[in-house]
Structure formats: C-alpha cells, structure tokens
Structure 1
C-alpha cells in the first residue's frame, strides 16, 4: 500500500485552521465584485434601476402612498404607509439643519384616522415650510394630510374622496359609541377647515352629500374642483411644487434673518 507523504498545501485564505494567513488579492477582488453584484441586484428589485441618482439637496421628499397603517398591521399584499416610519422622519427633518423644506407626495386611499391625523398634525406644526402634491388620489384621511402642508397642489387628474368616518368590525350600539364617532369627525372637520380656505359648512355639505358615491354618502372631488372649493391651493405638478417650496424656503430664511 502506498501512502502520499507530501503535505497538502492550502491556498492562502482557505485554511480555516490558520486564520493568520491573509487572503490573497484575487480573493479580495472576488468579494468586491460579488458585493457589487448583490447591491446592483437589490437596486433592480427595489427600484427597477441599476443606478440611483444621488444629489445633495436641501429638500426632503416624503411619500404617503397606499393605505395609512395605524395600530393594526395590514395584510402583506396591501401597499401601506406606516405611521411609525413617518413620524420619526418628520422629527429628523425638523432637527436637521441641512434640510430646509419638505416635499410631500400623496397617492393614498386613506386609512387609520388617528394615525393620519397624527401625521397631519406633525406636518402642520413644523417650523420648516412644506408643500404637498396630490397625485392620483388623496382620499379620506389623506385630505387632512394634504392640507397640513404650508402650501398644497393637486394635478388635474387627481381625485379626493370626502366622506364621514367609517368603522369596520364590531361596534357597540350605545350612545357613547355615537358620541365618540361624532367627536372624532369633529376633529377631522376642524383640522381641514383650519388648514385650508374651505368653510366648515361647505366641507360638511361635501361630507354628507347623498347620491354621488355608490351605496355611501360623500363626494368625489376632482383636481380643479378641489381648488375651487378651497381645499387645495393650486393646480400643479412637480415643477410648480418645487418652485413654490424654494420660494417658501427663501421667505423663511429672510424672516429668520429679520428676527435675528
């Protein structure tokens, strides 16, 4: 029987028993290439592009899309905006001196009333100027979020569905339940009236209009009608919104300079 007495020489970086052996340059380059391929694959899957253009800007862009998710986790097939993701971002925007304005893009069907109102209240209370654009739709609780910005735009093809608060699931048929719903609706009504030029009477007229929405009460408002009613400030898209935000940022800087 023959035995091979020649020692087996492990290539550099492949001997697990001797970690002191440094990896070769070829192994290092392979790792870099593999990492780049993984990053590019992730970018394609998430954004549909191999490269993402990055530019330093004084404007932060935030999206409110799908359904505003509140205390209940929605099914995975739903496109959602989670309020626990949005609220820390708003705090960070307020604290970051490099960010001077907020551009808010909305295409939402609405969602959790309290979560939507919390987001709207935070946007409205920011010291930095903000501009919102309703794209596609800004329905239900999306209306208060749209009007919470310093200035609001809507594209001509977008719609905003205005309807009273609705609940799903078991509701106790007691007077206290109806009182609670009425108070919650009053909070929404007051916020919209305070942060837009629509009167509370006109808002309630749109809210309780019958015969327009199938099997429900309310109104579907299209772009120019939203401006005519005073819900939204102006018809416009991205370029108009960005120009307006730059104007507001400039005015905000000038007012701070006067105060100093």
Structure 2
C-alpha cells in the first residue's frame, strides 16, 4: 500500500495545484518568448488610452519612449475612455500636440472618446472613429452631495474652523450658499470655455457652432463627423492604413509590446471595457426615459 501511495503522491500534487502549475507554465512561456529582434526593425507603434483618466504618468511614460525612439515614424493612438479628470487629460493632450508635429499620430475611437478622452486625443493628425463609437461630451461637471439631513438623523454634527469665505465651498455637510455656488459656477464656466476654445483650435471649428458640437452633447460617429470632431468613420484597419500613408511607410513593422504586459492588459482591459459598456447602456437607458 505504501508503494502505491508513493506512486500516487505526484499525481495528487498535480491535481491539487493544477491551476497554479498552469499559471506558472503560461508565465514561463510568455517570458521565454523572444521579441527583441522584431522590435529592432519596428517603425510604427500603438499606444492605448483605456478607461477613466485619473492620472497621466503611466501613459506619458510610454508615450515619451515612442517620442524618443528615432525608428518609430508613426503612432496609432487607440482610445476607449469615458473621460476623467481635467488636469491629466490636458497633460496627455499637450504631449500629443507636441509629438504630432514631429511624427504623425492617428487616433482611433474604438468605443468611447468623450469628455476628457476627447480632450486628450483631439490634437492627433487624424481622428478615425468606429461607426458605433460615442464621442464629444465636451463639457465640465462638478458633482456634490448634501448629507446634512442624513447626518442630522444619525446625530452627526459637523464642526470646522476656516479662514476665507470660500474655504468650505463644496462641502457635503450642508447646502452650498449663494456665494459658494457663484464661485464654483464661475470656475466651471472658465474650464468649459477653455475646453471649447481648445477644441476649436485643434479641429479648426467655428466657435459660433459650439451649440452643435459642445454643450456636453454625446454624439454618434456620424454626428461627430458632420460637426468636424473626427475626420473619418472606419475600422482600426482604416486607421492603420491612414497612419502608414501619413508616415510614408511602405514596409510596416509594428513595435511589439512586452507579452506579459499584454497578458495583464487583456485581463484588465476586458473588465474595463465591460464597465464602460454597462455605463453607456445606463446613460442611454436614462436618456430614453427622459425623452
């Protein structure tokens, strides 16, 4: 019996840790696969802007590498983002504006290129959108909550010391007063005006038509094309060919990403895409109820 037990021990181990062994095998295969030779000849590269834009560091780090690589003659920017914070969106926008003067950048709106992500990608040399993409949403919003009634029911009282009439502006412990609302409204309008002016400059639009392309409107690809927010409607195939033309490339060699990074990106990207799809569905469901 002991003899058979010893023989079965390796099998028991494999069955018990099967998933872990498969994962380690995948990691080994990913890291053992070569790709450096292919990248030595690379002359075009793809960079993705996926999900909410809450920071710009990771994107700009990768983008800077492409900017500094003399062999890279063109960049495909794939966007599928609902937007995000205005500051990192501006940082990405300024970087794309700068690099687009050195080497062509084609932006491809894969699913959503709206609000902050439109601001980020609008300086690309050409913008091509999937016919089902959602674009625009050129506007600024500041959300807040008033939990004063809830706090009162829970017996929670707020106390604070401040210097300056506006220091508590945006607090959630009481309704905003008229002075605070006026200040916050002025701030929002200032950022909105900046956003619209930047879009007008980047896309060569007439600011008098902002009622069509701005005002926070979410646009279909067809409407975005009509109002000048994009250059073409097409697939990623058309976006790639546009990049080859602008870069004057005859023999194409794509920069290969690290395969382990691609594996992680696939895991994270699927979840992000699902979240964007759910959010989009909820928005249209709400709009259909209102109208």
The 5 Å alignment of 1:3-22 reads none
| Residues 156 and 235 in structure 1, CA contact (< 8 A), matched pair in contact too | yes
Change (3 A) 1:105 1:117: same
Counterpart residue number, 1:114: 87
Change (3 A) 1:250 1:238: same
Structure 1 residues 165-174 or 144-153, which shifts more?
165-174
Deviation at 1:203, TM superposition (A): 2.6
Q: Which has the higher contact order (CA 8 A, sep 6+)?
A: 2
Structure 1 residue aligned with 2:59, among 86, 91, 102? 86
The answer on 1:136 being equivalent to 2:122 is no
Instruction: Give the Cα–Cα distance (whole angstroms) in 2 for the partners of residues 250 and 65 of structure 1.
Output: 28
Query: TM (normalized to structure 2)?
Result: 0.59
The 5 Å alignment of 1:39-78 reads 40-41=26-27, 55-56=38-39, 57-70=42-55
Deviation at 1:180, TM superposition (A): 2.6
Change (3 A) 1:163 1:244: closer
Counterpart residue number, 1:4: none
The 5 Å alignment of 1:1-260 reads 38=24, 40-41=26-27, 55-56=38-39, 57-70=42-55, 83-126=56-99, 127-169=102-144, 171=170, 173=180, 175-208=182-215, 218-250=216-248
Matched residues, number? 192
| Residues 138 and 195 in structure 2, CA contact (< 8 A), matched pair in contact too | no
- State the Cα RMSD in Å: 3.0
- Deviations 1:35-79, CA, capped at 9 Å, x for gaps: 9972614888xxxxx979884331121111110013xxxxxxxxx
Secondary structure at the counterpart of residue 90 of structure 2: helix
Q: Which structure is higher in helix share?
A: 2
Give 5+ residue unaligned stretches, structure 2.
1-19, 145-168, 171-175, 250-291
| Residues 200 and 207 in structure 2, CA contact (< 8 A), matched pair in contact too | yes
Query: TM (normalized to structure 1)?
Result: 0.65
Give 5+ residue unaligned stretches, structure 1.
1-33, 45-49, 71-82, 209-217, 252-260
Instruction: Give the Cα–Cα distance (whole angstroms) in 2 for the partners of residues 177 and 43 of structure 1.
Output: 54
Secondary structure at the counterpart of residue 200 of structure 2: helix
